[in-house]
Structure 1
Amino acid sequence: MTQLTCFKAYDIRGELGEELNEDIAYRIGRAYGEFLKPGKIVVGGDVRLTSESLKLALARGLMDAGTDVLDIGLSGTEEIYFATFHLGVDGGIEVTASHNPMNYNGMKLVRENAKPISGDTGLRISSAWRRRTSSRRWTRRVAGPCARFRC
């Protein structure tokens, strides 16, 4: 894949299959972890049927990049913002397609203190994804287990 069309100005979204799938979700997690180098982040997903599998692939990529992942389960974007700030973690990713049609899904990414990922940071993550995809250099790193957050 030479062109990654799911990266938008302030989020990631695309049609399921070619534009966004589990392999791409894994690579996004891997690139996010390697570029931003967060110690721990939260992940969550909405009610779409594909959100859970995309979230798990994303978490695997993050963990392979050395990031500890805290899975808050079924959530909306506002819960990711809250958990990122309240738990004092280094970032968060919500798997959600928001208002897009059923055959789409996507991701909202935030940094520490629930700061949104801006377009330029998103483009740098996309660029890291492209470099890794073209070079095929994905070395596995050992991270802590993916923990589930319970109230």
Structure 2
Amino acid sequence: MTKTELNKVLREHKKWRDGDGGERADLQRADLRWANLQGADLPPPTMLLLATWGNVSDKLCLELMRYDASNHPNPMRFDEWANGGDCPYQKGFQRCANFQEVRELWKPGKSKSARELVLMLFKEKDTKYSEGI
């Protein structure tokens, strides 16, 4: 997704959010690495997690896998997957974050919020953003 395309998606999302037509942003598979989103009116963090993030650090990978597990109807399936079993998200709902998982890193734990994870991704991927709150 080019910068121009991303800006168009964000403008249309703002219109949608404000009840002024437009359409809800779909950032699935959008590559936001190195993007400058300062001052952008972004969609919810849950949607940003569906952008294409690719490989991430081991620490962030574990946090994202825990987030995926916390949103799965049977988080214990992640233990089975880590030991060579099938992907827990083969049927039903899709994963909650789009990144390259590493099963060898899996260990259960408390999940961070979608917002915390997005801010960690932004920092790691050098995506410039300020909340302007």
Same fold? TM cut 0.5: no
Length-normalised TM-score, structure 1: 0.29
Kindly name which structure, 1 or 2, has the bigger radius of gyration based on alpha carbons: 2
More strand by share: 1
Length-normalised TM-score, structure 2: 0.31
